[in-house]
Amino acid sequence: GQVAQIAALTQGSQWLHCGEALMRLPVYRRAVEAVDALFSRLAGWSLLQRSREMNEQELMQTQYAQPVTFMVQVALLELLKSL
């Protein structure tokens, strides 16, 4: 059988622009954009846009850290599934 190891990102493990370099990969980018579309409808603001504009201090605030971390986790999982 195949074995996989997955590390979960939790609040505090995020860093400014984490995952940004992976946006060049279509699978990762589509997943980020899908999470952002859903989040935008629910929250009324773009998580993707905000994550690109925020500073370190803002990223440590729960209202930003939790959704950014979730967005990166979903995109990483989709990327792993595509391999």
Under DSSP, the state recorded for 64 is H
**3 has pLDDT over 90:** no
Which range is least confidently modeled, 25-34, 37-46, 67-76?
67-76
Cβ atoms within 10 A of the Cβ of 81, count? 9
Compute the distance between CA of residue 65 and CA of residue 18 in angstroms, rounded to an integer: 11
Query: What is the structure's pLDDT at 9?
Result: 59
Query: What is the structure's pLDDT at 10?
Result: 58
Q: How confident is the model at residue 8 (pLDDT cuts 50, 70, 90)?
A: low
Tokens 């979960």 found at: 8
Most confidently modeled range among 5-14, 34-43, 66-75: 34-43
